[in-house]
Amino acid sequence: MSQEDMRFETLMKEQMVQGEDGHFVAPLPLKDPDSQFPNNRIMAEQRLASLRRRLLSQPRLKEEYQAYMQDMLDKGYAEAVPDDERCRDDGKVWYVTHHGVYSQTKQKLRVVFDCSGEFQGCSLNNQLMQGPDVSNNLCGILTRFRKERIGITCDVKGMFNQVRVAPEDRDLIRFLWWENGDMRREPSEYRMTTHLFGASSSPACAMSALNKTADQYEEVFGSDAADFIRRDFYVDDGLTSTTEEKSSVQLVKDTISMCSSGGFELHKFTSNCPEVVASVPESRRAKSLEHVDISERTVIEHALGMKWNLQEDSFHINTDISVKPTTRRGILSMVSSLYDPLGWVAPFTLLGKNIVKQLCCDGRDWDEPVPDHVEPPWEEWKTDLKQIADISIPRSLSADH
């Protein structure tokens, strides 16, 4: 690790504590604790005015944005700045702007806080230590997920928001919004109480808290649950495989309890084993499994981006790729969008990459139409892409599967 990463680790070790509600509290890991921030409220006001115009022109976005912000306040992820603290001017106040984006797959709104926004050459992310990359290896997790006959996946609900920010640092993550979402009023000042999606330090802070949960409660809930958390979580997604039903049910129970002790809630559980699914409360299952018997109906879920057919217990390559213009940029975009972390269709992907390479060697501009001799192999690649969806790869490598 770099010197900065070691400083981050020391800071988390010394100052991360567990609150009375079970959630861990961690400071914002500033590169220089004595750094001064310029007053960027005017930038926040301008961005909010632009957001207001956008919300007024898009009724659906407005309704969902207001609901999202109110839900965040109701859950305590953010709080109003007290009147006697609003005029604080000691270089320790920073306003984070925000905007809404929809995920391409679920069309669900997420409000993103722009911690990279600059004012007078300063931004919050520039002042934060990113922390070491403590994520587990993606291929390692997927390979272990294939080891045994019973597969289990889950997800940490709102992972970043489950780790609190130390009270003395919360004025560095202020934001402007309207009380009760009423845009006819003057904007009010709020501040986050949790680590937020958009801050460069949030992933490392959240992983530190999750790993600390495993270390702290291993003796209470067992080493199997602790090892699952430490080795087989890729940020907020957990995947593991087990040998038999009884131990699987116990593992799920212990892992839920262990995470709950650290302020984390596990949900969206899936499994190819009906006994495991039945042992999980419906509120903690993936939506597709809330009222479904997987032995009678085909259910497709996702495991770290891979399509997982629970009934057949098989993987399928996701080929839902948007068609792009036949240009160097469009071809590169489509080839790069084919997600195949274990390299099952690498020979096919290589054909697409070879077309991109040829266009690069020819000196073609990014948005220039491709020459005539490139179109036939590219059209053939797109046609074959549809057939890739029919490939089925057994998930389990167990001999007794």
Determine the distance from the C-alpha atom of residue 214 to the mean position of all C-alpha atoms in its chain, rounded to a whole number. 20
pLDDT exceeds cutoff 70 at 341? yes
Question: Do 43 and 184 lie in a common domain?
Answer: yes
Tell me the two tokens of residue 136: 């587990």
Question: Do 28 and 177 lie in a common domain?
Answer: yes
Question: Do 307 and 286 lie in a common domain?
Answer: yes
Question: Do 114 and 198 lie in a common domain?
Answer: yes
Question: Do 177 and 244 lie in a common domain?
Answer: no
pLDDT exceeds cutoff 70 at 147? yes
Question: Do 297 and 338 lie in a common domain?
Answer: no
Q: What is the pLDDT of residues 342-361, one digit of tens each?
A: 999 999 999 999 999 999 98
Q: Cβ of 96: how many Cβ atoms within 10 Å? A: 24
Range of the domain at 381: 328-393
Q: What is the pLDDT of residues 67-84, one digit of tens each?
A: 999 999 999 999 999 988
Q: How much is the pLDDT for 106? A: 60
Q: How much is the pLDDT for 133? A: 87
pLDDT exceeds cutoff 80 at 103? no
| % of the chain at pLDDT higher than 70 | 98
What is the arithmetic mean of pLDDT over 151-164?
96
pLDDT exceeds cutoff 80 at 401? no
Tell me the two tokens of residue 245: 């039903």
Task: Establish if 138 belongs to a structural domain.
Answer: no
Q: How far apart are CA 66 and CA 244, in angstroms?
A: 46
Q: How far apart are CA 342 and CA 268, in angstroms?
A: 24
Task: Establish if 379 belongs to a structural domain.
Answer: yes
pTM: 0.89
Q: Are 114 and 96 in contact (CB under 8 A)?
A: yes
Long-range pairs of 273-279 with CB within 8 A, sequence gap ≥ 24 = 273/150, 273/151, 273/152, 273/245, 273/248, 275/245, 275/248, 275/249, 276/150, 276/152, 276/245, 276/248, 276/249, 276/252, 279/249, 279/252, 279/253
Q: What is the pLDDT of residues 56-67, one digit of tens each?
A: 999 999 999 999
Q: How far apart are CA 132 and CA 167, in angstroms?
A: 24
Q: How far apart are CA 165 and CA 86, in angstroms?
A: 19
Q: How much is the pLDDT for 294? A: 72
Question: Do 10 and 84 lie in a common domain?
Answer: yes
Q: How many domains does the chain have?
A: 3
Task: Establish if 218 belongs to a structural domain.
Answer: yes
Question: Do 198 and 220 lie in a common domain?
Answer: no
Q: How much is the pLDDT for 107? A: 75
Question: Do 216 and 196 lie in a common domain?
Answer: no
Q: What is the pLDDT of residues 193-202, one digit of tens each?
A: 999 988 999 9
Task: Establish if 100 belongs to a structural domain.
Answer: yes
Q: How much is the pLDDT for 108? A: 84
Tell me the two tokens of residue 165: 């920010």
What is the arithmetic mean of pLDDT over 322-351?
94
Average pLDDT, the chain: 93
Question: Do 47 and 174 lie in a common domain?
Answer: yes
What is the arithmetic mean of pLDDT over 34-44?
94
